[in-house]
Amino acid sequence: MHIFLTGEIQIGKSTVIAKTLALLRTTPGGFKTYFGPDRGSPDKLLYMNPAGEPKIFREENAVVRFAGDCPPQAFTKKFDTYGVELIRSARISSNLILMDECGGLERDALVFHKEVMDTLNGSIPVLGVIKLASKGWTDRIRNHPKVKLRTVTKENRNLLPQILAHQLAVKIGYRKF
């Protein structure tokens, strides 16, 4: 079973994931995407790095550029190489894979899509995030038979970490719950 969170922007999806991982006392493999301190600026970068490492705000970790009134410029090759490398590495060495977040920005990254779907077809549990407004390739994640989709709301975000940790504990071999 894989669990993907969705919900409004800034509702607390990444916080739910962080609290869930803390309860499980595990460091996942996989990837996380995030903005830098300039998140509110019209000119900014979206970064990607390994799930278990601190955020890195370097150009080489950027996967999307946002520039004023222009459409976002996704670095498709970066998803298809670096993103795929992070997922493949997690499949070899991790008992839990993080995919935070999947959305429309990587819609043309077909190698990345295939790696995500191959991982969902596997047995290593995935904890991920799907951008609420995304369509297209992310519908394949939403509709995957092994995926349980959970919507994060103000009402449930404080309870979800305990629920998710309980659901994932057996899958990763952690029996405290």
Cα–Cα dist 51/97, whole Å: 8
Model confidence over 50-66: pLDDT tens digits? 999 999 999 999 999 99
Indicate the pLDDT class of residue 99, thresholds 50, 70 and 90: very high
Judge whether residue 177 has pLDDT over 70.
no
The angle subtended at Cα 54 by Cα 47 and Cα 177, nearest 5°, is: 115
Give the domain 2-33+74-172 fold: Rossmann fold (3.40.50)
Judge whether residue 100 has pLDDT over 60.
yes
Judge whether residue 176 has pLDDT over 70.
no
Q: Which two tokens stand for residue 173?
A: 């071999």
Cα–Cα dist 79/150, whole Å: 25
Domain ranges for the chain: 2-33+74-172
CB-based contacts of 166: which residues, under 8 Å, 6+ apart? 177
Judge whether residue 93 has pLDDT over 60.
yes
- For all residues of the chain together, what is the average pLDDT? 94
